[in-house]
């Protein structure tokens, strides 16, 4: 379905409302009627854009996959140096400060809630994680080519270590409501990357 510019703006507004509600209430606690009201659109209009709740959730995930790697932060430059990785880690810790709220619905919580049940949605989550992993991979490859990392550094392993640190840190920081888990997970992941310096 090709959308007019106005149609695209409405679709974005619906996705913004859905993302915020899911962040606050979880997927199960969010109805399409909640989303419709929050987006301020008329009765049947939502179904013009998303023909089911599942379609709406999948669109939220797909959009999150395009989002910067640290929720609530402006898109960061290429993560292709130790300094850039440290700035990324610091932003991840900052994003977990109490009072910042959940801010965004994270893939970590979506994965926790949706993982077991719905296979199509799980596939969207896989694609999102793989996209993030490949962004991290690109930066690490540049570092290896520049000689910042040893030739034997396994880039898939290092990129996945950064991604699991972000997800594990997010999950525990949001549950415990302190930045300590994110700080610890990022310390560990960055120390691991540093251990592959020549």
Asked if residue 164 binds its own copies (CB under 8 A), the reply is: yes
**Separation in Å, CA 15 to CA 24, 47, 134:** 14, 13, 25
For its own copies, the binding residue among 92, 109, 139, 153 (CB under 8 A) is 109
Applying the rule CB under 8 A, the residues between 113 and 132 that interact with its own copies are 113-117, 122, 125-126, 129-130
As a whole number of Å, the end-to-end CA separation of the chain is: 52
Do residues 93 and 183 touch, judged by C-beta distance below 8 A?
yes
Q: Which is nearer to its own copies, 71 or 181 (CB)?
A: 181
Distance, in Å, from the CA atom of 104 to the CA atom of 151, rounded to the nearest integer, reads 37
Do residues 102 and 24 touch, judged by C-beta distance below 8 A?
yes
Stretch that binds its own copies, among 2-10, 81-89, 134-142, 168-176 (CB under 8 A): 168-176
Do residues 110 and 136 touch, judged by C-beta distance below 8 A?
no
Asked if residue 112 binds its own copies (CB under 8 A), the reply is: yes
Closest approach, Cβ 185 to its own copies, in A, equals 4
Residues that bind its own copies (CB under 8 A): 23-29, 102, 108-117, 122, 125-126, 129-130, 156-158, 160-161, 163-169, 171-172, 174-176, 180-185, 187-189, 191-192, 195
């Amino acid at each position: 379905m090709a959308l007019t510019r106005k149609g695209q703006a409405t679709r974005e507004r619906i996705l913004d409302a859905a993302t915020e509600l899911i962040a606050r209430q979880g997927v199960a606690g969010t109805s399409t009627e909640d989303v419709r009201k929050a987006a301020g659109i008329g009765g049947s209009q939502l179904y013009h854009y998303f023909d089911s709740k599942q379609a709406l959730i999948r669109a939220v995930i797909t959009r999150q996959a395009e989002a910067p790697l640290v929720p609530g932060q402006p898109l960061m430059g290429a993560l292709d140096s130790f300094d850039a990785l440290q700035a990324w880690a610091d932003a991840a810790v900052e994003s977990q400060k109490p009072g910042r709220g959940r801010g965004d619905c994270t893939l970590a919580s979506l994965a926790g809630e949706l993982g077991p049940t719905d296979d199509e949605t799980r596939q969207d989550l896989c694609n999102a994680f793989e996209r993030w992993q490949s962004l991290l991979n690109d930066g690490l490859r540049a570092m290896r080519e520049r000689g910042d990392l040893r030739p034997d550094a396994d880039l898939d392993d290092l990129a996945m270590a950064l991604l699991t640190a972000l997800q594990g840190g997010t999950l525990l920081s949001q549950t415990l409501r302190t930045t300590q888990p994110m700080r610890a997970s990022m310390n560990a992941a960055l120390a691991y990357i540093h251990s592959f310096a020549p």
